[in-house]
Amino acid sequence: MHIGAHISSAGGIHKVFERAEAIGAEAIQIFPSAPQQWKAPVISDDQAQLFRDGLAESAKPAFFHGVYLVNLASPDEALVERSVTSLTQYLDWAGKLGVRGVIFHAGSHLGRGWDGECAAQVSGLMRRALDAAPNDALLVIENNAGQGNCIGATFGEIGEMIRGLKNDPRVAVCLDTCHALAMGYDIVTAKGCDAAMKEFDKEIGLERLVAVHANDSKMPLGGTRDRHENIGDGHIGLDGFATIMRHKAFRDVPFLLEVPGFDGKGPDIENIMRLKAIRAGVGLAAPHFESKERE
């Protein structure tokens, strides 16, 4: 189990390895371009070679995160075309750079409902992106917290997307712990975590779980809001992460932090060390850290 984090790629993606080392990250996730814009990644040949060299030297699992604007469930043709183009660009760069895959949010049905036409549209658009970037990079669906009309909150919906792609082996899943708890999956208790992962296996298949977004949650179980918290300071807590990390489904899956950080600047060494301490004691009581009062 690698424990890593989302790492800033400011100044060039080749700089992420040094930043990862500084906080002890064993796996990395990056935005290859601005996450709130449609602008395509601009990576020079020199930067690309430096990244490939750094990736080979570090042997760290690496993922891209897609832009936040992607919405494959929208009825707006211009928006879905931009979404497919963006995912295709990211998949293409992932293949060129040796990145495992592109983690993305599938979007929102905007009130028209998920079943039928919308579900078929989402799978069809994912098919287009995969076909337009014929390499080994994975298209990785992230579960959401159940807010509004967002799709992919349940394992059943994600499984339906994958079945719509005829179980294409290039489609995988990233499980966000904060989102899962907020959606109502009780991953904090051993019984609840086991039940959740059995449902995941039935609807999706555990072999498709390729990454975990390791985030504590400011929202309680079933809160249906996406509010990340530092490890141990939310409603999952240290014991909850110990439960998750000792479950066999997560044994060989990289954990990627997307937490606010104790200085408010994102994933930091303290959050990394908290997960590493839990990893070292998997199967035992979770280590004690002073945590702020639950919200």
Grouped pLDDT means (10 residues each) for the chain, 295 residues: 95 94 97 94 95 95 97 95 98 97 95 87 97 97 93 95 96 98 96 97 98 97 94 96 96 97 94 96 49 39
Q: What pLDDT is stored for residue 148 in this prediction?
A: 86
Cβ pair 196, 153 in contact under 8 A: no
In a domain, 223, yes or no: yes
Cα angle value 179/41/122 (rounded, 5°): 45
Q: What pLDDT is stored for residue 282 in this prediction?
A: 57
| Nearest-angstrom CA–CA distance, 187 and 203 | 17
Helices 237-246 and 269-280, packing angle to 10 deg: 60
DSSP string covering 212-256, please?
EEE-EESS-TT-----EE-TTSSSSHHHHHHHHHHSGGGTT--EE
Query: Is the CA virtual torsion 270, 275, 278, 279 positive or negative?
Result: negative
Q: What pLDDT is stored for residue 114 in this prediction?
A: 82
Cβ pair 178, 145 in contact under 8 A: yes
In a domain, 288, yes or no: no
Q: Token digits for 62?
A: 């690496």
- Quote the domain boundaries for residue 204: 3-280
Q: Token digits for 201?
A: 């296996």
The count of structural domains within the chain is: 1
CATH code at position 91: 3.20.20.150
Cβ pair 241, 214 in contact under 8 A: yes
Q: What pLDDT is stored for residue 283 in this prediction?
A: 44
In a domain, 254, yes or no: yes
In a domain, 168, yes or no: yes
Place of tokens 């799978």: 123
